[in-house]
Amino acid sequence: MIPLTIPEISGNEWTYVKECLDTAWISSAGSYVSKFEEILSDFTDSTHAVACVNGTSGLHLALELSGVSSGDLVIMPNLTFVASANSVQYTGAEPILIDVCTDSWQFELDLLEEFLEHKTTLTDIGLEFKENGKLIKAIMPVHVLGNMTEMDRLIRIAAKYLMPVVEDASEALGSTYKGRHAGTFGSTGVFSFNGNKIISTGGGGMIVSNDEELARRAKHLSTQAKVSPEEYIHDEIGYNYRLVNVLAAIGVAQMEQLPGFLTKKREIDRFYREQLSGVGDITFQEVIPHVQPNCWLFTFRTKRMRELLRHLNAHGVQSRPFWRPMNQLPMYSHCHYVQKSDHSGMLYDQCISIPSSVGLTKEQMNTVVKTIKTFFQA
Ligand SMILES: *Cc1c(COP(=O)(O)O)cnc(C)c1O
């Protein structure tokens, strides 16, 4: 089976993890945690980074620190991985779901603006959703598959309606818009390093921010809000969300290899686009000007997605459908969903992800392409 996307452990992972084990610095107080944070803030050109146990906990903290709490609303795309919506719900707030574009598969910005103009009012206490009087406290763009929307415009809209931006950049490590790194446009951005992301620590996440106070609070809350290193005194309800040293050691080794990973991912993307263009009814995710995506996971559209999925998995090419949109999940089906023709539902019915691991060989890539072509020629 050619796997969909698996971690690439070919650098200093063993050496750094062994050092943690040899010195017994395995928990969250070791030096690799802060080293990992430094490397990530350097790489993304943000002033602060705070390591978390995973991307979901990072999003939860970032939302809480942006002032989101019980009874509030958060705007987010309808087409995303469920963790985006769950992190909103953990704060006690509820998502407002916005449909995505059929070309880039990111936030549909016209729809977003129309919604804000007609369905919300800016009052003394904040941005009110007219339908129920609740306050919209933040907007969470998701950089779907490491691609991005027109960030200038998104930031302008958010500023006009006074919404803090929490970027779910879980999939977008290495992606840029006008040379600026994903995750650094909003007040906070969050990355994930779970098993299938572009770099992996097994499980892990990172909040980046240019706001010193916000970063300080993120670290404080992620370490049980402990006030003093010597005593068990805590000044608010914190979380046990800090990444441990062993995993951060893997993260440091992975970051050393990230430039190479990005080159390989972009090569895979180019190859598939060339080879699959004009095959059957296949269409690709569009990349708008100024975006340089990390090409994390190659995904394309076909009306025969379900049939193709069965064909590929039966022929040793591991493939997956896209996420079922949030409005189709039982927990979020009651949320307000802003749409005109449910593009998310259409994309869910048509999108398929194919093998994109950094370690993919040319021979494997050819096999993937051949298996797809055979399907459409039959
Ligand atoms: C992976 C992912 C997350 C969650 O990250 P974890 O580290 O698995 O908690 C959140 N949002 C999106 C869009 C993701 O792809």
Q: How far is the CA of 55 from the centre of ligand 1 (A)?
A: 5
The residues, any chain, with a CB within 8 Å of residue 209's CB and separated by 6 or more, are 46, 47, 48, 49, 50, 187, 188, 189, 215, 218
Question: Residue 56 CA: which ligand 1 atom is closest?
Answer: 9
Residue 191's pLDDT is 98
**Radius of gyration of the chain, Cα coordinates, nearest whole angstrom:** 21
Locate the ligand 1 atom nearest the alpha carbon of residue 192 and give its number.
7
pLDDT at 229 over 90: no
Expressed in angstroms and rounded, the spacing between residue 170 Cα and the centre of ligand 1 is: 5
Residue 206 pLDDT exceeds 90: yes
DSSP structure string for 202-239:
SS-EEEEES-HHHHHHHHHHHBTTB--SSS--BSS---
Dist. CA 194 → ligand 1 center (Å):
7
CA 378 – ligand 1 centroid, Å: 37
Sorting pLDDT into bands at 50, 70 and 90, what band is 29?
confident
pLDDT reading at 378 higher than 90: no
Packing angle of the helix pair 13-23, 245-276 (nearest 10 deg): 170
Q: How far apart are CA 182 and CA 148, in angstroms?
A: 8
Residue 27 is predicted with a pLDDT of: 84
**Ligand 1 pocket test target in 192, 201, 353 with most atoms within 8 Å of CB:** 192
The pLDDT value given to residue 25: 87
Mean predicted confidence (pLDDT) in 280-306? 98
Domains defined for the chain, CATH in brackets: 13-255 (3.40.640.10), 258-377 (3.90.1150.10)
- Which residues, at least 6 apart from 119, have a Cβ–Cβ distance to it below 8 Å? 129, 130, 131, 338
Q: Which residues line ligand 1 (CB under 6 A)?
A: 54-56, 80-81, 83-84, 142, 168, 170-171, 192, 194, 205
Residue with tokens 């892990």: 204
Q: How much distance in Å is there from the Cα of 375 to the middle of ligand 1?
A: 32
